[in-house]
Amino acid sequence: MRYNEIYEERRRKVDACIRFENRRAVSTFMGQSVAATHTEGMTLARYMEDHEAGLDCYIDFLERVNREAPIDCFNFGYPGGHQGGLVLSWWSRVRMPGKELPENSIWQVEERKVVEDEDYDLILRDGSAASVLERILPLIAEPKVMEDFVSFNVTNFDRVMLRYCEAGYPALNSGLVITPFENLCGGRSIHVFFRDCYRQPDKVKAVQDAMMNDVREQIRHLPREDYMIGRWVGGWRGASNLVSQKIWDLLVWPYMKEAALLLIEQGITPILHLDACWDRDLERFLELPRQKCILNTDGMTDLRKARRILGDHAAFLGDIPSTMLTVSSADEIKDYVKRLLDDIGPQGVFIAPGCDAPACAKYENLVAIHEAVQEY
């Protein structure tokens, strides 16, 4: 299906970049919360709570930045129903602005152990984590939180994605695939879960194998509309600098790889959202099909090294550090982007804030990212 000319033109740039056929880097907006913090009269609390106002605010903000320097696409859209999304990702309670936090404070995950030892046996018995999730959800989220999530991300998913298309902006990412390691790390709490990984690795592996049945089902049922470009595969607690090689090889990579391959089978680009440093294991991404994936890094993974190892195997998305967006100058941002492009070249590169732009990112720094791409 064709949407509109601006969208199609930008979409061609995105598709070309994944295939390393682009000549210029792709200027990619990322900032789930910055639209609210840079819009007069909009609190972060209202932005998160009122989905219609929030979505309008997000798209208006894209337009505003685009008027200053062109944006080709965005990474993560307006975070509607975000509390529920985070709850489902982390299996943890999430504190929200205007509720447990002041109106303009960014959301925070409150990790406490909610998955009990016996839940492992339940998952093994069922070959699924559905009943465990059903038990823990009331402990970590009010029913309305999950209703909001479903309303925005399921019931209204198509309508929201079409709003982006109408506005002319391809959405690189249309949702998350969470691997079992990440769910368990949140639900058990990192201290307990890492201990499990050392004390009973085989059991954790069996549990994760059972949980992958749910992931396979989720991927099988994803919409197949033309606007579906990619989907995040996390990548936060399973980072190479966080877990030992043995744990990573056994409990992290096999599941990320399978999720990525399943997405590719569905015609969706896996966007491996890699928080922290993945330098140790960069070679492993060569196991994924060539030019079918995007590695979304946050400034901690060495992209120069990644380019040397991976060549034109996978596109990169990132990686301006959040610290720079907050405390550096626009000139420093531009210098960072240009030096990066000097070293890794523009082919197969989406330039964007690493991970996410923090709510307190300076407006001129956000604009500087897109100016730098244009000027390069």
Partner 1 sequence: MGRICELLVELDEERLMDAIREELAGGTDAAAVFIECQEGLSEIGRLFQEEKMFVSDLMMAGVLFKDIVGLIMPHMKTDGGAARGKVVLGTVKDDIHDIGKDIVASMLAAAGFDVIDLGVDVPPEEFVRAVRENNVRVLALSCLLASCYASILNTVEAVKAAGIREKVKILIGGGPVDEHVVRYSGADAYGATAQDAVDYCKEALR
Name the residues that contact partner 1, by CB under 8 A: 95, 101-102, 105-106, 108, 110-111, 190-191, 194-195, 197-199, 240-245, 247, 276, 280, 321-328, 358-361
Q: Which of 105, 236, 246, 240 is nearest to 182 (CA)?
A: 236
When the beta carbons of 72 and 111 are compared against partner 1, the nearer one is: 111
State the minimum distance, in angstroms, from the CB of residue 340 to partner 1: 17
State the minimum distance, in angstroms, from the CB of residue 167 to partner 1: 27
State the minimum distance, in angstroms, from the CB of residue 248 to partner 1: 8
State the minimum distance, in angstroms, from the CB of residue 348 to partner 1: 26
Beta pairing partners, 232: 176, 271
When the beta carbons of 105 and 218 are compared against partner 1, the nearer one is: 105
Supply φ then ψ for residue 203, to 5 degrees.
Answer: -70, -45
When the beta carbons of 155 and 241 are compared against partner 1, the nearer one is: 241
When the beta carbons of 168 and 186 are compared against partner 1, the nearer one is: 186
3-class DSSP string for 266-306: CCCEEEEEECCCCHHHHHHHHHCCCCCCEEEECCCCCHHHH
State the minimum distance, in angstroms, from the CB of residue 313 to partner 1: 23
When the beta carbons of 170 and 238 are compared against partner 1, the nearer one is: 238
Other residues' Cβ atoms within 10 Å of the Cβ of residue 245: 10
Distance CA 300, CA 34 (A): 22
Structure tokens at 59: 């798209």
When the beta carbons of 59 and 94 are compared against partner 1, the nearer one is: 94
Burial class (CB in 10 A: 0-12, 13-18, 19+), 273: buried
Distance CA 4, CA 335 (A): 34
When the beta carbons of 66 and 189 are compared against partner 1, the nearer one is: 189
Beta pairing partners, 195: none
State the minimum distance, in angstroms, from the CB of residue 298 to partner 1: 9
Distance CA 176, CA 207 (A): 21
State the minimum distance, in angstroms, from the CB of residue 47 to partner 1: 15
Q: Which residues are CB-neighbours of 62 under 8 A, at least 6 positions away?
A: 29, 35, 71, 74, 167, 169
When the beta carbons of 155 and 244 are compared against partner 1, the nearer one is: 244
Structure tokens at 210: 């059972």
State the minimum distance, in angstroms, from the CB of residue 159 to partner 1: 31
State the minimum distance, in angstroms, from the CB of residue 252 to partner 1: 10
Q: Do the Cβ atoms of 256 and 236 come closer than 8 Å?
A: no
Q: Where are the beta strands (DSSP E) in the chain?
A: 26-29, 73-74, 93-95, 108-110, 173-177, 230-235, 269-274, 294-297, 315-320, 349-353
Other residues' Cβ atoms within 10 Å of the Cβ of residue 54: 22
Beta pairing partners, 271: 232, 294
When the beta carbons of 164 and 236 are compared against partner 1, the nearer one is: 236
